[in-house]
Amino acid sequence: MRFITCLTIVIFWISVQTALIIEFSLLSASFDFLISFIVFLILFRSWQETWLVIILGGIAVNIISGAPMGVYMITYILLFIFFKNVKAYFHTPDSSLFIILVIIGVMVEQFIFGAFIFIQKSSVLLSMRTLRICFSQIFMAGVLSPLMLMLFNKIFYVSDRLISDDRRTYHGPIWKHGKKIS
Amino acid sequence: MFSKKTIVIAGAMILITLNIIVFSFNLILKSSLGDSATWATFFLISPVQGVIHLSLNFTDELWKHYFNLISVSKENHELRKKLSILIQYNNACKEIEASNERLREYVELKKQTPNRLTAAEVISKDPSPWYQTLIINKGKSSGVVKDCPVIISEGIVGYVVASSPEYAKVLLIIDRNSSIDAVIQRTRGRGIVEGMNNNQCKLNYVLRQLDVEIGDTIVSSGFDGIYPKGIPIGRVSKIIHKNSGLFKEIEMEPFVDFSKLEEVMVILNPMNQEFSFGSCDS
């Protein structure tokens, strides 16, 4: 159920970003929404869910995008490595930490994309348009990430409740250490 | 002295006489007396009547409006509903009209070319602003395979870089990874069109001595093995003259407005045949 929830969000998020958000000229340079989801998973959920989203989400976005294969997954893996222990070091409220990490994540992704394009085309990308895209993405990340945090919290709250209800209504045998208890 | 009966009869006679006299006077002095009486009556009564009438009217109006408001509100609600339906219908008509116009252009395009074309709808765009691709709703099952050129009536859109049975990914000519072998239509000078990622392209490797002017149309040369010859790509928008170097630096504006792409045509059998675009000089 938890994994299904994660996959549903990944599919929904990618679809919203590529088919809906991109149509609005104001949000055309919007940041990668999956970053917010991955940061949420890193901070508040299990590593299994996080890795599932990193691998499947990374592949899915890469297939849709024109970016070189693996760039997105590399970005997400790096974010996982950078952020996995961050909660132990920074004692800030969860929401503030989430927003900051999403913004950092967006910046990391921009840097990785820039590096890849530089490797491919051997040209520096520092133009007004590049800077505008970067700032616009960081701004959008700052504005939208609190809303996304609320949304994820709500979705997982409902999903976890459904799981616990499922467990409560389980009528089959209960096993412990390979032995049937009842 | 007089009997009671005589007094009554005399009194009646006097009253009748007086009455006749008053009537007679009234007839004679009708204008002045009548007018005065009328004026006096109106002066005293009419204002009160007016106030009462106004009050009644006010109450009546209030009453009517109070009840009417409920029905008017309902009617307003109904009319708003109808209006919104009509607005939607109007928008749908406009969309159909625009779509019809585009499809008519595609039909014209189909007639002009010997190539087999299939129309596809753009369903999504690249999630990253650093790359310029889009997804169309036609894939291998419709004959759309890797390297199929994608065009619209204005010119080249890009080519298919990946396809599944139902969908295909198109690399736009404005992407940095896109290159097209092109010629300047007027002078036949050759160059390579590359994307700049900002809705513009540049024309590289154009020899310095070649004559190029702003506004010159660039078309595909057909030598790259992907795009058929003669499809318009764009127009020269800027020429940077350098004192040294073998080639000119030329920026060009594609004919296609990539922000408004909704439907595209995929060339299914891209032979190296010449396209005959009627409007490529416009």
Give B63-83 pLDDT, tens digit per residue.
Answer: 777 777 777 778 888 888 888
Average pLDDT (B167-184) is 90
Residue B281 has pLDDT above 50, yes or no: no
Residue B245 contacts by C-beta under 8 Å, 6 or more apart in sequence? B208
The answer to whether B184 touches B279, Cβ cutoff 8 Å, is no
A64 interaction partners in chain B (CB closer than 8 Å): 124, 126-127, 133, 135, 169
Q: Which two tokens stand for residue A63?
A: 């297939």
Distance CA B165, CA B280 (A): 33
Q: Which two tokens stand for residue B253?
A: 């504006």
- Interface with A, mutate which of B124, B130, B251, B261 (most A CBs under 10 A): B130
Q: Beta strand B155-163 with B149-152: parallel, antiparallel or unpaired? A: antiparallel
Determine the pLDDT at residue B96: 81
* Least CB–CB distance from A65: residue in B123, B126, B198: B126
The answer to whether A99 touches A146, Cβ cutoff 8 Å, is yes
Residue B17 CA, distance from chain mean position: 91
Distance CA B26, CA B33 (A): 7
CA distance A17 to chain B (A): 6
Q: CA of B164: which chain A residue's CA is closest?
A: A63
pTM score: 0.66
Residue B45 has pLDDT above 70, yes or no: no
Instruction: Provide residues of B within 8 Å CB-CB of chain A.
Output: 123-133, 135, 161-162, 169, 171, 175-177, 197-198, 259
Angle between helices A71-83 and A94-121 (to 10 degrees): 140
Q: Which stretch of DSSP H or E encloses residue B183?
A: strand B179-184
Strand, helix or coil at B63? helix
Determine the pLDDT at residue B127: 80
A137 interaction partners in chain B (CB closer than 8 Å): 129
Average pLDDT (A6-14) is 84
Q: Please, what is the Cα angle at B32 between B26 and B37, to 5 degrees?
A: 80
Binary contact (B133, A28; C-beta < 8 A): no
* Model pLDDT for residues B91-148, shown as the tens digit of each residue: 788 878 877 877 777 777 777 666 788 888 888 888 888 888 888 888 888 888 888 9
- Interface with B, mutate which of A65, A116, A123 (most B CBs under 10 A): A65
* Model pLDDT for residues B46-61, shown as the tens digit of each residue: 566 566 667 767 777 7
Q: Which stretch of DSSP H or E encloses residue A138?
A: helix A128-168
Residue A51 has pLDDT above 70, yes or no: yes
Which amino acid does the sequence have at B159? Y
A19 interaction partners in chain B (CB closer than 8 Å): 123-125
Q: What is the ipTM of this complex?
A: 0.71
